[in-house]
Every structure is written in structure tokens, then in C-alpha cells.
């Protein structure tokens, strides 16, 4: 088997969309999936050979359809170090961020939390952590992609991996196939990847280099750990994806050529991930499948009488090819004995300081203002549904109040219209929480919609951001909140009487 290294540089922000998240925010993965890299080279090959029925081309079939060549995920490459997904067994103490514990081994760890970053382990006992730098851009939404006209008031956000960063990936296969592959594609190769790649996103450059991975001198004992660096997909005996100890054991027995019952999984730290891919040629997504998430770690023991040179060689071969299904698309990649110590020292890169602008851009203030307004009005509408009077006035009086409110220019104008009402006594007899309706209508600060949402974490974030933008929100939108609340409350009471 031969291996070549790909160094991918982001020349523009790239968006590799996650399968979940807020509907108005497209979040990006922190790495470049192998399936996307495979797609880049497949597209480039088709450009070079624009023939009918490309799937019948021997090289195309072997490289991109039949799995003769294995593509791997591209992870962050920073200062000459490759950063892989953090094993779930590595956790840091909440009160001491400088110490990381390997939960596979006995330790004095107390209350720990996940690292949730990509890691590089070097010098035996030090762990460097790093995540790709990202940016967030907002765009106008469109109801119709054909018309090209944005919909007023609708926006969405793209989280994107920032330009100017390096990622590292590998292509693995038989020497003959790899040599032919390398001659087919010139280096460097420029391409587009991810969401909105035909406009401002997704421009990358790929450098192709030789790399020799030699596991001949790797010493393996009958007890070892494997840590998946990409999602690992396993099918049960019925052909369905099943990330379980039983299916993993079954695959290991088959790959290592070991009899059933000779291999056991002693410890497990794993999570389940759900994924699907988009096939641009089909314009469709692949079926949703479940797999062990990257970072899942397993301690494995093979009985001494079954552990021999052939088993060791099979483990070394699996390090090149991966384990499980769809390995040619980057699934099932793993490292052997990634963690050997009980404790590690955390070494963090210094964050780059960014100068804050002296003034907030007007467009940001406008967007934040609309977000605050929307949340306050929605809160007022919900509060209005809870408004229940003990002695409800007649529907005609409620309708008259609603009409007066609609025609009033502001709260003061509405109050002036209420005072001369002959039915004012009827309003005094209608109470909510022992408070007369006319008193509530004349209260400028009723309802206190601000109070209802101020305690939520979301509003606290908005409030902090508003201060950064010098936006005063104490009495913001009082008129709109008052009118929205009472129109909904009056309308709801009238419907009860119908």
C-alpha cells in the first residue's frame, strides 16, 4: 500500500454544512470530509475526460466508485502539526484547565468536562488543542431561487471556515493505482468545495506530496486501544447500520482473522453520530445512517493463544485501510494506542487579539434592533393569551376598545379616548389579578413584556450585544409592545364570547 499527502489551503471561506442547527444559521464542520475531497477529484477527472458513460472508464470506476483508492478527512494542519478529533477519554478538570486526564487509566481526576477541540499529542505527555478559525456572514433570504430577488426582512447566516488555513488529508491505495492517480492530477490543483461554492465561498488549493507510512517497526501487544478519527460505520447481520460492541467485535474478528470469542472489548468511551451526504450528480441526499462518532475509543484484548504475527500484520494493514463500511470515503479511520499516559499537560495556543471597531456598523445595529423587536412582540403575544378577566365585558365593548386602539396614534391618544367612555364603570368591574381593566389599560408599562424575557439566557446575550452597539433597549418599542399585547388580548376575549 502507498500513501500520498494532500495539503489543502482555504483561499476563501468554506462552508461544509452540518446536518443540524438553527434554521437561520448554517453551521460548518470543523474539517473537510473525505467525500467532498473525492468529489473534487472526480469532477476534475470528468473535466479532463468528458466522455459519455464515465462510469465505464476503468480508472474512474476504480478510484471513485469501487473503492480501490481510499480518501481521508482533512483535518487542521497548524505549525507543522496535524490536529485530530479529541478522544472521548481525554477530559479536563473543571477547576484546573491545565491538566487533562485519560479516563481509560486510573487517575485522581475529580469533576471533569470534555475538551471539545482538535488535539495533537506530542513529547509524550503534552496535548496541544486547536480549532479552525471561523467567521459568520449574513445574507438576504429569497423565497424563490429562480427570481433572484431577496425577501424583505428575511436574512440567514453562514458560519464558514476562514480563509488562509491549512488542512491535511491522505489518499491510500496500491502503489500502481496511486502512481497513476498522481500522474493524472497536476499539483497544485485549485477547486471549489462546500455550500455556495459558485459565489464567494469554497475556493481552495490542493498540494499533492509523497508520503511513506511504515508500520513495520510498530510494536503491538495483545491488549491495545483504538481511537476512531472519523465516523465508523458498521452493518449488522441484517444489513442495517448498527454502532454497537457486537458489530465492532464481529468486524474485528473478520479483519484480524480471529475465531469468535477470542477477542473482547474491555472498556468503551463512545458516542453515536448521524450523518447523510449530498450527491450533487443525483441532486439527492444519501440515506441517513448512524455510526460511532470520531473520538470514540475502545480498549481491546485478544487472547494470548490467538495473538500471533499474522494478527499483528492484519492490524497494521487495517491502520492503512480503515475498519467498517465505506472506508474509501474516509469512514473507519483509527489510530492505535493514541493515549499511553494517565495525565497530560494542556498547552494552548495564544489567541490572536482583534481590535474592536470604535463604532458599531449601522447595518448591525439595524439587524439587532429588528431581532429585539421581534422577540419583545412575540413575548407580548404569548402573554396576551394568558389574560383572563373575572367579569368579562360585552363583545360590543371589547370590539369598540379594539377599534379605538387601532385608530390611536399612540398610548396617550388611546387613554384620552377611554376617559370619556360611558361604559367606564363596566371596565372597573372587570378585574384580572384583582386589578381593574381600566387601570391596566391606562398603565403605559403594562404588560411588562421586558420582565418576562429579561431572565432568559438568549435575552442576556442580546442585551450584552446591544450595549456593544450602544443601543438603548430599556424603553425600546414600548408603543409596539403595548399595542400588540392589547390587540391580541381584546381579540382573544371576544372570541371566547362567540
Reduced to 3 states, what is the DSSP secondary structure of residue 378?
helix
Judge whether 373 and 466 are in contact, CB under 8 Å.
no
State whether residue 7 is helix, strand or coil: strand
Contact 302, 222 (CB under 8 A): yes
Q: Is 165 a member of any domain?
A: yes
Among candidate residues 212, 246, 268, the one where a domain is terminated: 212
Do residues 297 and 431 both lie within one domain?
no
Digits of tens for pLDDT over the chain (498 positions)? 888 999 999 999 998 887 665 566 778 899 999 999 999 999 999 988 888 888 888 999 999 998 899 999 999 999 889 999 999 998 888 777 788 888 888 777 677 888 888 999 877 788 899 999 988 887 776 665 555 565 565 677 788 899 999 999 999 999 899 999 999 998 899 999 987 776 778 899 999 987 766 677 788 999 999 999 999 999 999 999 999 999 999 999 999 999 999 999 999 999 998 887 767 666 777 788 999 999 999 999 999 999 999 999 999 999 999 999 999 999 999 999 998 888 888 887 776 666 666 777 777 777 777 777 777 777 778 778 777 777 777 888 888 888 888 888 888 888 888 777 767 677 777 877 777 887 888 776 665 545 555 555 555 566 666 666 666 655 557 788 888 888 888 888 887 765
Within 10 Å of residue 257's Cβ, how many Cβ atoms? Answer: 12
Residue 183 backbone phi and psi in degrees, to 5? -70, -25
Instruction: Determine contact, residues 57/51, Cβ cutoff 8 Å.
Output: yes
Distance CA 401, CA 490 (A): 8
Distance CA 87, CA 85 (A): 6
Q: What is the pLDDT of residue 229?
A: 95
Residue 356 lies inside a defined structural domain of this protein = no
Distances from the Cα of 332 to the Cα of 262, 324, 327, 329, 335, angstroms? 22, 6, 6, 9, 10
- B/e letters for 395-425, b = 16+ CB within 10 Å, e = fewer, are eebbebbbebbeebeebeebeeebeeeeeee
Say yes or no: 99 and 120 in one domain.
Answer: yes
Question: Is residue 357 assigned to a domain?
Answer: no
Residue 77 lies in a domain: no
- Assess whether 167 and 206 both reside in one domain: yes
CA-CA distances (angstroms) from residue 137 to 160, 162, 199, 430? 8, 11, 13, 51
**Separation between Cα atoms, residue 486 and residue 496, nearest integer Å:** 15
Which cell numbers hold the place of 333?
Answer: 479511520
CA distance 250 to 237: 9
103 and 246 part of one domain: yes
- The answer to whether residue 354 is domain-embedded is no
Looking up cell 458516542 gives 271
Distance, CA of 150 to CA of 165 (rounded, Å):
32
Same domain, 143 and 185: yes
Same-domain status, 335 and 272: yes
Residues 366 and 467 in one domain: yes
Residue 355 falls within a domain, yes or no? no
- Non-local (6+) Cβ contacts of 472 within 8 A are 466
DSSP-derived 3-state class of residue 371: helix
**420: containing domain:** 362-497
Q: State which of 164, 187, 212 marks the end of a domain.
A: 212
d(CA 311, CA 460): 58
Residues 283 and 229 placed together within one structural domain of the fold: yes
Domain at 61, CATH number = 3.30.70
Asked if 150 and 9 sit in the same domain, the reply is: yes
| pLDDT at res. 363 | 74
Q: For residue 451, what pLDDT is reported? A: 57
Q: Model's pTM, two decimal places?
A: 0.69
Task: Indicate whether 477 and 379 sit together in one domain.
Answer: yes
Residue 31, SS3?
coil
Structurally, how many domains does the chain consist of? 3
**3-class DSSP assignment, residue 55:** helix
Same domain, 283 and 136: no
295 in helix, strand or coil? coil
CB 247 within 8 A of CB 238: no
Looking at 212, 246, 266, the residue that finishes a domain is 212
Contact 338, 97 (CB under 8 A): no
pLDDT at 321: 92
Same domain as 337, residue 230: yes
pLDDT number for residue 42: 92
For residue 269, what is the domain's CATH number?
3.30.70.1900
What pLDDT, on a 0 to 100 scale, did the predictor assign at position 362?
Answer: 75
Q: Any idea what DSSP says for residue 300?
A: E
Dihedral sign for Cα atoms in the order 89, 93, 99, 105: negative
Amino acid at each position: 500500500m502507498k500513501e500520498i499527502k494532500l495539503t489543502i489551503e482555504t483561499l476563501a471561506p468554506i462552508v461544509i454544512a452540518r446536518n443540524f442547527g438553527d434554521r437561520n444559521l448554517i453551521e460548518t464542520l470543523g474539517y473537510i470530509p473525505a467525500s467532498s475531497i473525492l468529489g473534487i477529484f472526480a469532477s476534475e477527472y470528468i473535466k479532463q475526460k468528458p466522455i459519455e458513460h464515465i462510469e465505464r472508464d476503468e480508472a474512474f470506476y476504480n478510484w471513485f466508485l469501487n473503492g480501490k483508492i481510499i480518501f481521508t478527512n482533512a483535518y487542521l494542519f497548524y505549525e507543522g502539526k496535524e490536529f485530530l478529533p479529541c478522544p472521548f477519554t481525554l477530559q479536563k478538570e473543571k477547576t484546573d484547565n491545565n491538566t487533562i486526564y485519560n479516563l481509560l487509566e486510573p487517575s485522581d481526576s475529580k469533576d471533569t468536562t470534555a475538551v471539545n477541540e482538535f488535539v495533537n499529542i506530542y513529547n509524550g505527555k503534552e496535548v496541544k488543542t486547536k480549532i479552525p478559525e471561523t467567521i459568520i456572514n449574513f445574507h438576504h433570504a429569497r423565497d424563490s431561487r429562480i427570481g433572484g430577488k431577496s425577501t424583505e426582512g428575511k436574512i440567514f447566516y453562514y458560519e464558514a471556515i476562514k480563509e488562509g488555513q491549512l488542512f491535511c488529508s491522505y489518499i491510500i491505495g496500491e502503489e500502481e493505482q496511486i502512481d497513476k492517480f498522481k500522474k493524472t492530477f497536476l499539483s497544485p490543483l485549485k477547486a471549489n468545495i462546500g455550500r455556495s461554492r459558485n459565489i464567494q465561498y469554497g475556493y481552495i488549493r490542493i498540494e499533492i506530496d509523497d508520503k511513506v507510512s511504515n508500520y513495520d517497526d510498530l510494536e503491538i501487544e495483545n491488549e491495545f486501544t483504538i481511537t476512531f478519527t472519523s465516523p465508523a460505520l458498521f452493518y449488522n447481520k441484517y444489513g442495517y447500520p448498527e454502532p454497537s460492541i457486537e458489530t465492532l467485535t464481529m468486524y474485528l474478528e473478520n479483519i484480524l482473522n480471529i475465531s469468535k470469542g477470542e477477542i473482547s472489548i474491555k472498556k468503551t468511551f463512545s458516542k453515536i453520530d448521524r450523518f447523510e451526504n449530498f450527491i450533487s450528480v443525483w441532486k439527492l441526499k444519501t440515506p441517513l445512517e448512524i455510526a460511532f462518532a470520531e473520538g470514540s475509543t475502545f480498549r481491546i484484548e485478544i487472547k494470548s493463544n490467538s495473538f500471533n504475527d499474522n494478527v499483528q500484520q492484519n492490524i497494521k494493514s487495517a491502520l492503512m485501510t480503515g475498519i467498517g463500511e465505506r472506508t474509501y470515503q474516509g469512514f473507519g479511520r483509527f489510530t492505535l494506542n493514541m493515549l499511553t499516559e494517565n495525565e497530560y499537560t494542556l498547552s494552548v495556543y495564544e489567541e490572536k487579539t482583534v481590535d474592536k471597531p470604535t463604532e458599531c456598523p449601522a447595518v448591525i445595529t439595524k439587524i439587532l434592533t429588528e431581532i429585539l423587536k421581534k422577540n419583545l412582540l412575540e413575548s407580548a403575544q404569548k402573554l396576551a393569551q394568558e389574560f383572563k378577566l373575572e367579569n368579562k365585558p360585552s363583545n360590543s365593548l371589547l370590539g369598540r376598545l379594539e377599534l379605538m386602539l387601532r385608530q390611536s396614534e399612540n398610548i396617550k391618544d388611546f387613554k384620552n379616548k377611554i376617559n370619556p367612555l360611558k361604559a367606564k364603570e363596566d371596565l372597573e368591574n372587570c378585574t384580572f389579578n384583582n386589578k381593574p381593566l381600566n387601570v391596566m389599560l391606562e398603565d403605559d408599562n403594562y404588560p411588562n413584556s421586558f420582565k418576562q424575557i429579561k431572565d432568559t439566557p438568549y435575552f442576556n446575550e442580546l442585551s450584552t450585544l446591544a450595549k456593544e452597539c450602544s443601543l438603548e433597549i430599556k424603553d425600546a418599542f414600548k408603543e409596539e409592545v403595548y399595542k400588540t399585547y392589547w390587540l391580541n388580548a381584546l381579540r382573544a376575549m371576544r372570541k371566547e364570547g362567540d
